[in-house]
Amino acid sequence: MMARNRPTLRQGVMIAVLLALAVLPAVTGAFDQPFLLDLALRVMILACAAVSLNLILGFGGMISFGHAAYIGIGAYAVGIPAYYSEYSGYIQLPIAIAAGALFALVTGFVCLRTKGVYFIMITLAFAQMAYFAFVSIEEYGGDDGLVIDQRSEFPGIINMEANLEFYYVVLAFLLGALFLVYRIVNARFGMVVQGAKGNEARMQSLGFDTFRYRLACYVIAGAMAAAAGWLMGNYNYFFSPEMMGWTRSGELIFMVVLGGAGSLFGPVLGAIVFILLEEMLSGATIYWPLILGAILVAVVLFARGGIEGVIAALERKK
């Protein structure tokens, strides 16, 4: 995060990965591998959500275990209007962002009064509340989920039904999310949020109303994750409550920590590794959760600092 003149290894990795994502459609087109493109889409959408989680978890120290709820809120902001034949993206996307922000504002108001493990469990419980709310609304498919018959429309600007165009919309969202978080954490606001992570009482004695700043940060992250959910709904043409269950929130945390919490690009690396790992294991055996679970435990016990931490260590060695 400090100003450096020479590009570092970490910056190099980031640029390489983003370039690779940018040229991927050309490669998969040439070799006729639509499956890879599909995988990359999933990675990027979850990476958007992970980047937003990293804003509160990595930089703000707020361990939210309910981030998948925002993905659900964003996805239903596609599905429910579509159910009433309202397909305009100019309506769906603002609804997604506003609903995500509102849910974060209301729940954050209670969650952020608590600390430590209480915070973890309460974010978890609120997400579970949103999950059960969608499960119980039969009108929108309940448990079975909601089929979305077409993607959001932006007439005259972009046709999201075309997979290639959709791909670059998602990539643009990912770049936008990364840039937004980069600016936020380096601005005055970000300094306050990071200070409150290290020592909240001290921030208050300096004169900061930390509760409000953290709440604002929580709301921003919620709105970003809901935008990722909006992409997810469009990507799948379908959404079910199961996709916003608490284990999904756990996976998002894993992505952030695997990549390196509190580093800008770490969550993207974490999302890539997690999805590839899941893809490979589930291809190899139906008992893949057994192996993935063991890997997860091992990562926590033995590899601290995540992938970004490893790269940073390599940098220091040079």
Partner 1 sequence: MEWILFVSQVLNGLQLGILLFLLAAGLTLVFGIMDFVNLAHGSLYMMGAYFCVTLTPLLDSFPLAVLAAIILTFVLGVVVELVVARHLYQRDHLDQVLATFGLILFFNGAVHLIWGAEGNPIRLPDFLDGRVTLFTDIEIPAFRLAIIAIGLAVAVGLVWLVGNTRMGMLIRAGASNRRMAGALGVDIKKLFTLVFALGAALAGLAGMMIAPITEANIGMGDDILIVAFVVIIIGGIGSVRGAFIAALLIGMIDVMGRSYLDDFMKLFMNNQSAETASPALSAMAIYILMAGILYFRPRGLFPPKNR
Partner 2 sequence: MNDALLETRALSKSFGGIHATENVDLAVREGEIHAVIGPNGAGKTTLIAQLAGMLRPDSGRIFFYGRDITRLAPHARARLGMARSFQITSIFQDMSVLENTMLAVQAHAGHSYRFWQKARSDARLTGPAMAALEQVGLAAKAAMSARKLSHGEHRQLEIAMALAGDTKLLLLDEPMAGMGAEESALMVDLLNGLKAHKSILLIEHDMDVVFALADRVTVMVSGKIIASGTPEEIRADENVRRAYLGEAAVRDA
Q: Select the residue interacting with partner 2 from 5, 85, 205, 247 (CB under 8 A).
A: 205
Buried b vs exposed e over 214-234: b needs ≥16 C-beta within 10 Å? bbbbbbbbbbbbbbbbbbbbb
Q: Select the residue interacting with partner 1 from 287, 313, 314, 315 (CB under 8 A).
A: 287
Span near partner 1 by CB under 8 A; candidates 6-14, 35-43, 109-117, 209-217: 109-117
| Binding partner of 190, given partner 2, partner 1, none, CB within 5-8 angstroms per partner class | partner 2
What is the rounded CA–CA span in Å between residue 272 and residue 185?
23
Span near partner 2 by CB under 8 A; candidates 44-52, 118-126, 197-205, 293-301: 197-205
Q: Does 204 bind partner 1 (CB under 8 A)?
A: no
Span near partner 1 by CB under 8 A; candidates 143-151, 194-202, 229-237, 298-306: 298-306
Q: Does 280 bind partner 1 (CB under 8 A)?
A: no
What is the rounded CA–CA span in Å between residue 66 and residue 60?
15
Q: Does 138 bind partner 1 (CB under 8 A)?
A: yes
Angle between helices 9-30 and 34-54 in degrees, nearest 10: 150
Q: Does 206 bind partner 1 (CB under 8 A)?
A: no
What is the rounded CA–CA span in Å between residue 224 and residue 50?
10
Q: Select the residue interacting with partner 1 from 59, 87, 103, 246 (CB under 8 A).
A: 246
Tracing tokens 């199961």 back to the chain, one arrives at 242
Q: What angle do CA 99, 174, 98 make, to 5 degrees?
A: 10
Span near partner 1 by CB under 8 A; candidates 11-19, 92-100, 167-175, 290-298: 290-298
Look at residues 59, 231, 255 and name the one whose alpha carbon lies nearest to residue 151. 231
Q: Does 23 bind partner 1 (CB under 8 A)?
A: no
What is the rounded CA–CA span in Å between residue 90 and residue 84?
15
Residues forming beta bridges with residue 147, ordered by sequence position = 238
Size of the site for partner 2 (CB under 8 A): 26
Six token digits for residue 247: 């284990």
Is residue 62 classed as helix, strand or coil in its secondary structure? coil
Q: What angle do CA 103, 109, 111 make, to 5 degrees?
A: 90
Q: Select the residue interacting with partner 1 from 13, 147, 288, 312 (CB under 8 A).
A: 288
What is the rounded CA–CA span in Å between residue 118 and residue 162?
45
Q: Select the residue interacting with partner 1 from 13, 125, 184, 191 (CB under 8 A).
A: 125
28 or 263, CB closer to partner 1? 263
Binding positions for partner 2, 213-252, rule CB under 8 A:
213, 216
Binding interface with partner 2 (CB under 8 A): 3, 183-184, 186-192, 194-195, 198-199, 201-210, 213, 216
Binding interface with partner 1 (CB under 8 A): 57, 63, 65, 107, 110, 113-118, 120-122, 124-126, 128-129, 132-133, 135-139, 245-247, 250, 253-254, 257, 261, 286-297, 299-301
